[in-house]
Amino acid sequence: MPNEPSIQAKNLTKKFADFTAVDNISFSVNRGQTFAFLGPNGAGKTTTIKMLTTLLRPTSGEMLVNGYSPVTNQDDVRRSFGIVFQDPSLDDELTAYENMQFHGVLYKVTNLEKRIEDLLKFVELHDRKNDFVKHFSGGMKRRLEIARGLLHTPKVLFLDEPTLGLDPQTRNHIWSYLKQLNKTEGITVFFTTHYIEEADRVADYVAIIDNGKIVAQGTPKELKKQTKTASLEDAFLSLTGRKIREETAGAAEQMRMRHRLWRR
């Protein structure tokens, strides 16, 4: 089914007790598309990714990932996607190679050694493969997480804030890998970011979520046209409310970064 969308959500809702984190959202991501899911802190992005990737059960609504239901067909769905989580998920006490190996064994990857070697070369970490992850910089860890997410040759890659806290050069680097994958292997890329200018540059299609609801979706060009703005960042701010959010988002992001620092 080549024309079937990679990811579909229809009237998807997630409630935590009586709080609605994701409120009746619908969207569709075509095969090979780079899809940006944007929204302020707490909008419902991670919750949506968790539902699509089988980690949370929706309260109501329907989803399909690579044609499989994340609710009733978890194994097939899991085999078909790779994921880079919002929070770091590498084992610091293992080497880069061992982190890859552990994941590869879990996923029963065939020809594992060659696959690990190739992917470590792809993210330019091959010469550091035997170093402990605890000695890696933030950018190196993120690149390793991307390589690990690709190990079982997924058709869809979910990335929840893959470039958070990285310097502009490393962020560019990461996007160039992802665009390359998207181009050469036709991988569908579903990502979130608070760096709206990144989405403006790399996304084919964008959905903006605010307070659990999708407030707009379209190509970056369409969203700019709709809001009569010159950049996706301005379109985003006009759709989500400029004043209040700017400060709270900044503060929340800072808190999170601090939390991460202390956890190390």
Ligand X SMILES: Nc1ncnc2c1ncn2[C@@H]1O[C@H](COP(=O)(O)OP(=O)(O)OP(=O)(O)O)[C@@H](O)[C@H]1O
Residues of the shown chain interacting with Mg ion in the complex, contacts defined by CB under 5 A: 45-46, 86
Contacts of 31 (CB under 8 A, 6+ apart): 2, 3, 4, 5, 6, 155, 186, 188
For residue 57, give Cα distances in angstroms to 13, 31, 85, 227: 10, 24, 17, 34
Q: Is 18 exposed, middle or buried (0-12, 13-18, 19+ CB in 10 A)?
A: exposed
Q: How far is the CB of 141 from Mg ion (least distance, A)?
A: 18
Q: How far is the CB of 244 from ligand X (least distance, A)?
A: 15
Nearer CB in complex with ligand X: 44/104? 44
Nearer CB in complex with ligand X: 16/91? 16
Q: How far is the CB of 99 from ligand X (least distance, A)?
A: 24
The total of other beta-carbon atoms located within 10 Å of residue 230's CB is 9
Q: How far is the CB of 12 from ligand X (least distance, A)?
A: 12
Nearer CB in complex with ligand X: 109/206? 206
Q: Is 63 exposed, middle or buried (0-12, 13-18, 19+ CB in 10 A)?
A: buried
Q: Which does residue 43 bind out of Mg ion, ligand X, none, counting CB within 5 to 8 angstroms by kind? A: ligand X
**Residues near ligand X (CB under 6 A):** 16, 21, 39, 41-47, 86
Nearer CB in complex with Mg ion: 97/191? 191
